[in-house]
Structure 1
């Protein structure tokens, strides 16, 4: 069945998360109304028996696997067993169940942390497994590599149409702003917001950056990833196989900036004039993570949201949530 068929049923695993909800809205906004989702309370995707029963009952035509246990450096370091074990369990359950019911296409969402710490820049898909991983997120990375390889194995053994999208660092409305688990952009956005007027004299308090601030990162707005997912679902299989025989596609914006530069941009958006300090006892992480987007470029997709625009919409969402919490 083609995705443009009005009866095509699409299961979005993880539809309540930042990524899954953006994908859900993108599909709905582009006319796809036969969408299926289950919360983690309704369906534990780590349970293969429950997952198989769900797939057998619903018989989805397309699957987007956005469900995952996610977090930043602190969370990876604190909960390594959860990051590798739960993600492996989710991937195994969903991918095998999708194979058993014969879905038309499955898209698995990975992460560019799967690439070696010192991969060539920008990182092509071919650099996978060519060197050691960044230790600070190795648990999540190993699980995501395994998920991609499971999709690739199904392509080779069963000719299943299973693809992996590897998005770069994501951010946007619905992001995690908990400083214990958040990724760098929402964490810095919250720090800058809370530091406004927080000094004893009423001026802006300092904001602390981990490490040197010199590592460079690329940031993709979650709505752009959602658009890339829809685009990939709609692209004919033969076109994808021509540019990505391994079924793997990087999704990024093609440019990056240092954490220092990111902090300056966030300060400008938030209106924070305080000093920036460095905690050099904390790790820098991977020196650079810029993805090679040649494959998606060839297929005809590019990101549209500028970083400044994306940070502004994310900050607006954060302030709205903060206001809601105050009024509750």
Structure 2
């Protein structure tokens, strides 16, 4: 795979029909908002009730009916360490079906521009830090989310195969851990940051003297505010054209213990934070090398504390709906 940055410097026509798959999710909704704010007035979306992306025939029909100029694949079955570890068969099968159906249908309609979004979990568990794009397929994956990772690696390969076979200007990008408005705050199936926001808020409300955090607290994680990712997606569609995937992150990380302390400060929880060392840590460190996207002229703008504050405000504004989940 090429390691060369290939800028396109090709502004997308704001009248282009852009299909955002997964436009109601955390990532897709942020991309939709950013595109709308950037002047795109021909956006296409379909809820899961309107279009089951695992239904291959229906996906082909939808793509033929809408005939988008650009496809952004932000659709996926996602979850935290518990969900990934508990349902690997579903995470592998459903994600493979979603992306294969979308890309095959896009190829059938000769869609020339497509952005596939993956995850930093595609990289080996013990990859050199920070993780460069060239680390892909150089070592064993983290076992707790290897099924999801394999599905996303297959998506990268399908992008590359479509470029090679059909000459498409398709690209893939690998975001680091994401958070922000619209996140999943489910008590069992969410990622670490929204899970901490919910648990620490509820502990504050109930006056709990202690909150137990899974693992040793030492693993290091990088967190990207989802609105920054949305901006990066449009930037890449207009400034990047290469078969090799490209990392999207902030370039710095934080320990889980320090993250919990930051969330506690934002939420206003003043009780004890203790670690349950019998629970798994997952990958010890996962920091992306973002020098390539930085070299093209993009970098994240939102600090972690500002992003967590905005996420907590969104959580408070949507508490009634979230309690029902």
TM-score range, shorter chain: over 0.9
Mapped contact 1:197–1:205 kept (Cα < 8 A): no
Asked if 1:168 is matched to 2:162, the reply is no
Deviation by residue 1:61-116 (Cα, 9 ceiling, x = unmatched): 00000010000011112211110000000010001111111112100000000000
Asked if 1:233 is matched to 2:230, the reply is no
State the match for 2:4 in structure 1.
none
State the match for 1:269 in structure 2.
266
Aligned mates of 2:53, 2:233 — CA distance in 1: 21
Q: State which of 47, 52, 58 in structure 1 corresponds to 2:60.
A: 52
Instruction: Using CA pairs under 8 Å that are at least 6 residues apart, name the structure with larger relative contact order, 1 or 2.
Output: 2
Tell me the TM-score normalized by structure 2: 0.94
Within 5 Å, give how 1:1-328 maps onto structure 2: 4-199=12-207, 204-235=208-239, 240-241=240-241, 245-323=242-320
Deviation by residue 1:243-263 (Cα, 9 ceiling, x = unmatched): xx4331100000001001101
Give the match's secondary structure for 1:314.
helix
Mapped contact 1:18–1:222 kept (Cα < 8 A): yes
Mapped contact 1:46–1:90 kept (Cα < 8 A): yes
Tell me the TM-score normalized by structure 1: 0.93
Describe the shift of the 1:209–1:63 C-alpha distance in structure 2 as closer, same or farther (beyond 3 A).
same
Deviation by residue 1:10-41 (Cα, 9 ceiling, x = unmatched): 00000011110000000000100100000111
Runs of 4+ in 1 over 3 A off after TM superposition: 323-327
Mapped contact 1:198–1:205 kept (Cα < 8 A): no
Give the match's secondary structure for 1:262.
helix
Aligned mates of 2:12, 2:149 — CA distance in 1: 33
How many residue pairs match? The answer is 315
Give, in angstroms, the shift of residue 314 of structure 1: 0.2
Unaligned 5+ segments in structure 2 are 1-9
Give the match's secondary structure for 2:77.
coil
Unaligned 5+ segments in structure 1 are none
Deviation by residue 1:153-190 (Cα, 9 ceiling, x = unmatched): 11122221111110000000111111210000011111
Deviation by residue 1:272-295 (Cα, 9 ceiling, x = unmatched): 111111111110000001000011
Give the match's secondary structure for 2:168.
coil
Give the match's secondary structure for 1:120.
coil
